[in-house]
Amino acid sequence: MTVIDVRDPRTGEVEFSFEPDSPEVVRAVCNKACEAQIAWRDNGLSYRIEAMGKWVEAFKAHAPAIIDALTKDTGRRKISGEEVGAIEHIVHGYFSKAPEIFAKVEKRSSSTPTVDFEQQYVPYPVVGVIAPWNFPLVLSFIDALPALFAGCTVVLKPSEVTPRFIDPLLASIAAVPEMEGVISVVRGGGETGQALIDNVDLIVFTGSIPTGRKIAAAAAARMIPYFLELGGKDPAIVLAGSDLERAATAIIRSAIYNTGQVCYAIERVYVQDGAHDELVRLLVEKCRALELNYPDIGKGHIGPFIFPSQAEIVKSQLEDAVSKGAKILCGGEVKELGGGLWMEATVVTDVTHDMRIMTEETFGPVIPVMRAGSVDEAVFLANDTMFGLSAAVFAPDMKSGTETAARVNAGGVSINDTELPRTITLDGEKMAFGYSGQGGSRYGATTMMRYVRKKALIRNHGDVKGLEALAEDMD
């Protein structure tokens, strides 16, 4: 089996290599998880909450080591700390939400007077989670946590690009005996992911559409459920009369955060004619004030590309756009600094939907801006995509903003801000439109219900129909 090289995104150097887990190892890990799931399920929700509480304390104790490892994995420190904080926040949220969601109903009446029933929730035994490299920790656990509270055990396959955080994470799990076999990790690339699908009862994947298609086919071949979060090309619509200072700030924050390596980053902007020139001026002015996070990791705003091939994708899209008439007003160059690959905040105008930068996921610090003559045209252009993860609308007032947002085909539409879906992680629900995903909402506490099968225990307290009913039914 070919070894996998692990690169430092800040220096470009290969720091070490590892051999991916074989299909036999993956099978053994999944079998152990299946055995552990019986007690994890049968001991009940209170037991799971108590055990998860112990794990959170161990996780916090190992947090400095996890943050250090994530920093080496991704080349950025502040966001690594935010990832750790997000896990603690989400777990504590489930502490309060799970008992309400899974409240036991002893008896429910039926429309038939002599019949009642109990609703039972049966967790899938082992859930596999295949996570990407842009947020290695959060995107491993955003799906794993609701599955764990639902009574499943989880086997994670983090990205082979960012594997350093696995060891300190496993140390936090090993510190809690109740968690043995409950959260497990396998390491490797595509072959390891295939082996995971072959041995779990449900698979969750976050990543690209092409890989998502392969995972869907593999899961369908085994007749197991699959949940897919497949990225986006999120639009922002800016209406005439909007607060353009606010719009520019929010769009840049979304587009540039984590060097644009975010599935719900704003990747295309449609601006009504009356606001276009001033918004572009503000975007360029603010982007030019941003600095690369180099050489000091403690300073600056824009980190390196985590995965070097992503820099090539961004460069290729920009070259395609320029060849078709687009203008780069700032940024736009992939720079090699200290061995890492970087790009300054980039604003592009005179773009059209004939350009890849307006139709394909970019995953870089790029803001392409397109004129729209009317609200209708802006909405049409925003919806002219195969994606539909999330979006944003900036309007002079909440009424017109809400009316416009209601017309945009995306799972979560922020109004007069960006990235608001993050604020409803445990409270609201949103699904993906188009090719951006399948499998119900991963937002809201009720996402735990994705990981259970609903079963009815139905009791008849009255007489049983006689055989004459069979004869009548046959007439």
Q: Residue 379 contacts by C-beta under 8 Å, 6 or more apart in sequence?
A: 237, 404, 407, 408
Token pair listed for 435: 């090719």
Where helices occur in 236-272 by DSSP H, the ranges are 244-256
Task: Indicate which residue of 83, 160, 229, 360 is catalytic.
Answer: 229
448 vs 454: CA distance, rounded Å: 12
Asked whether the beta carbons of 121 and 104 are under 8 A apart, the reply is: no
DSSP sequence for 93-161:
HHHHHHHHHT-----EE-SSTTEEEEEEEEE-SEEEEE--SSSTTHHHHHHHHHHHHHT-EEEEE--TT
Identity of the residue numbered 420: L
133 vs 309: CA distance, rounded Å: 12
Alpha carbons within 13 A on the beta-carbon side of 380 = 9
131 vs 147: CA distance, rounded Å: 15
Task: Indicate which residue of 263, 344, 360, 361 is catalytic.
Answer: 263
Write the CA distances from 353 to 376, 389, 405, integer angstroms: 16, 18, 21
Asked whether the beta carbons of 313 and 362 are under 8 A apart, the reply is: yes
Asked whether the beta carbons of 204 and 410 are under 8 A apart, the reply is: no
Mark whether 229 is an active-site residue.
yes
Of the candidates 59, 48, 26, 69, the residue with the CA atom closest to the CA atom of residue 170: 59
Token pair listed for 335: 């720079």
Q: Residue 411 contacts by C-beta under 8 Å, 6 or more apart in sequence?
A: 388, 389, 390, 421, 430, 431, 432, 433, 436, 437, 441
Axis crossing angle, helix 78-101 with helix 63-74, rounded to the nearest 10: 120
Asked if omega into 20 is within 30° of 0 (cis), the reply is: no
Of the candidates 459, 448, 458, the residue with the CA atom closest to the CA atom of residue 121: 448
The catalytic residues are 229, 263
